[in-house]
Amino acid sequence: MEASPAPGTQARGDGREARLLLGFDFAGTFVFAVEGAIAAIAGGLDPLGILVLSFTTALGGGILRDLLIGAIPPNAIRDPRYALVAFGGGATVLLLHRFVSFVPPALLVTLDAAGLSLFAIAGARKALDFGLRPLMAILMAAITGAGGGTVRDLFLAHVPTVLRADIYAVAALSGALVMVVGQRLGLPSRTMAFVGGAACFALRVISVWRGWNLPHLSGMGRG
């Protein structure tokens, strides 16, 4: 991602980088769609429900962000390739569902963390491009990264897992914070996008690996 751009070159102005970013976006969409489909199967849904959850898990966060920042119609509605990638992820799980239980959880966590990083950084950048203030752009990173999974959980009548002790939205927020702060300090935009994404990825993977959670409030709980 670091091709030492000429000063003043917009990141999106470069056709080769734009294609690269689009490729990352589709990769994240595919991974999230696979996860949505796996959750749908665990919830006892049938093929249509599996495809619906693939779509909403993969694209719900970006659609919600686009509605909120005024990018209407949302990108995932305007460009049919997003839906095709999401349905492709769901269909892959449908075809291979007998083998899903053999996928190592560590692989799923790693891919999901990669998708989260891509969505968080892309979400914050798009929000900044649409004129949002830095704080709100950072929140949009969390909505982009965790919004789809939240809709998925609502559809499955669960309390969204993002609300329960987990370094997930926090990783998205942290990565976006790193990126936004770096940019305001005048550091190069692409470098900071990369550093922010790496921070999000590392925080998420390490938190799962080490069992990190947000601190509980003492004297509280459901019990």
210 sits near a copy of itself (criterion: CB under 8 A):
no
Residue of 80, 104, 186, 211 interacting with a copy of itself (CB under 8 A): 80
CA 202-206-210 angle, to 5 degrees, is: 175
96 sits near a copy of itself (criterion: CB under 8 A):
no
Please name which of 100, 147, 156 lies closest in space to residue 120, comparing C-alpha atoms.
147
In what helix (H) or strand (E) does residue 16 lie, and over which residues does it extend? helix 15-42
Stretch that binds a copy of itself, among 15-23, 28-36, 161-169, 197-205 (CB under 8 A): 161-169
Residue of 34, 58, 113, 132 interacting with a copy of itself (CB under 8 A): 132
Residue of 27, 103, 108, 136 interacting with a copy of itself (CB under 8 A): 136
Stretch that binds a copy of itself, among 5-13, 92-100, 111-119, 196-204 (CB under 8 A): 92-100
Residue of 73, 96, 106, 206 interacting with a copy of itself (CB under 8 A): 73
As a whole number of angstroms, the distance between CA 52 and CA 91 comes to 11
Residue of 11, 158, 198, 212 interacting with a copy of itself (CB under 8 A): 158
Amino acid in position 2: E
Measured CA to CA in angstroms, residue 42 lies from 39, 193, 202 at distances of: 5, 35, 28
As a whole number of angstroms, the distance between CA 40 and CA 49 comes to 7
CA 195-57-39 angle, to 5 degrees, is: 115
Residue with smaller CB distance to a copy of itself, 17 or 166: 166
Taking the complex as a whole, the smallest distance from the CB of residue 122 to a copy of itself amounts, in Å, to: 18
Measured CA to CA in angstroms, residue 152 lies from 7, 57, 61, 131 at distances of: 42, 6, 10, 29
Residue with smaller CB distance to a copy of itself, 20 or 42: 42
147 sits near a copy of itself (criterion: CB under 8 A):
no
How many CA atoms does the CB half-sphere of 207 hold within 13 Å?
20
Cα-Cα end-to-end distance for the chain: 49
Residue of 2, 15, 104, 157 interacting with a copy of itself (CB under 8 A): 157
What is the binding site for a copy of itself (CB under 8 A)?
Answer: 40-41, 43-49, 52-53, 63, 67-70, 72-74, 77-80, 83-84, 94, 97-98, 130, 132-133, 135-136, 139, 150, 154-160, 162-166, 169-170, 213-217, 219-222
